[in-house]
Amino acid sequence: MNINKEKEYIYNIISELTLERRKLTEERMLLTQEIGDWKNRLNELNNLEEKGMDNLDIMSFVELKQQAEKNRELLNVKRETENIITNINEKIEVAPIIEQKEEENVLFTVAEQEKQKDREARNRVGKTRVKVDEKFAQRAVMILKENGIPTRAKALHEQLEKEFEVELEYRKFANNVMRLLDNNPKISKPMRGFYQYNF
């Protein structure tokens, strides 16, 4: 398992346990409050007994019972609300993961399409190699004509790479383009490794 994924998993467990502890603390507080209410009622009853009253006011007992039921209902509503919020938050957390996976699938598909285009381009390059080499040779002739002086083959190679914005292996350049230059009657080799346009 990836360390980051495990750390994320542990953080999620800690946050869930913290939420659970918070819920339990709130329940405990409500129960403590309810116990306090019942103790207060017992104190009231003891005070009434000390005053010599033996009959209870039924209305106050009913109100106390209703208040305890309302407190329980509020606690249940609060729990349900927290559960709904937790479920919504989990769905919100899952949504970016789903979107990320969809993005990864799209990126994978795009990458596959790019690879396919590269394969097709390589196949076409093999068929059109002669035309490409002729383009390089024609441009090389134009460069030699513009320079008017003997030009080193290496400098010619670098200039063609810059102009066509491609990486052209020198070996392929020497085998293909220079061979075409050697066959051109307007181009001469004044010395080894140099080419010149004959006016």
Domain that holds residue 72: 3-117
Model pLDDT, residue 127: 45
Q: Are residues 30 and 86 in the same domain?
A: yes
For residue 175, give the amino acid letter: N
Q: In the listed set 55, 84, 117, which residue is the last one of a domain according to the structure?
A: 117
Do both 51 and 102 map to the same domain? Answer: yes
Residue type for position 6? E
- Going residue by residue through the chain, which has 199 residues, state the pLDDT in tens, using 9 for 90 and above: 688 888 888 888 888 888 888 888 888 888 888 888 888 888 887 887 887 777 666 556 667 677 777 878 888 888 888 888 877 777 666 556 555 555 555 555 666 766 677 666 655 555 444 466 788 888 888 888 888 889 998 898 888 888 888 887 888 888 888 888 888 888 888 888 888 988 7
Give pLDDT, residue 172: 80
Split into its structural domains, the chain has a count of 2
106 & 172 share domain: no
Same-domain pairing of 113 and 18: yes
Same domain flag for 37 and 66: yes
CATH classification at residue 150: 1.10.10
Same domain, residue pair 48 and 133: no
- For residues 131 and 104, state if they share a domain: no
Distance of alpha carbon 5 from alpha carbon 1, whole angstroms? 7
Which pLDDT score, from 0 to 100, does residue 165 have? 81
- Same-domain pairing of 76 and 158: no
Note whether 78 and 138 are same-domain residues.
Answer: no
Q: Whole-angstrom Cα distance, residue 168 to residue 160?
A: 8
In this predicted structure, what is the pLDDT of residue 130? 47
Which pLDDT does position 148 carry in this prediction? 86
Instruction: Label each residue of 51-84 as H, E or C.
Output: CCCCCCCHHHHHHHHHHHHHHHHHHHHHHHHHHH
With CA atoms as reference, report the closest residue to 71 among 106, 104, 27.
27
CA distances from 93 to 73, 133, 172 (A): 30, 56, 55
**Last residue of one domain, picked from the residues 117, 132, 165:** 117
CA 16/CA 86 separation, integer angstroms: 10
Residue 42, judged by CB atoms within 10 A of its CB (0-12, 13-18, 19+), counts as exposed
> Quick one: pLDDT at residue 78?
83
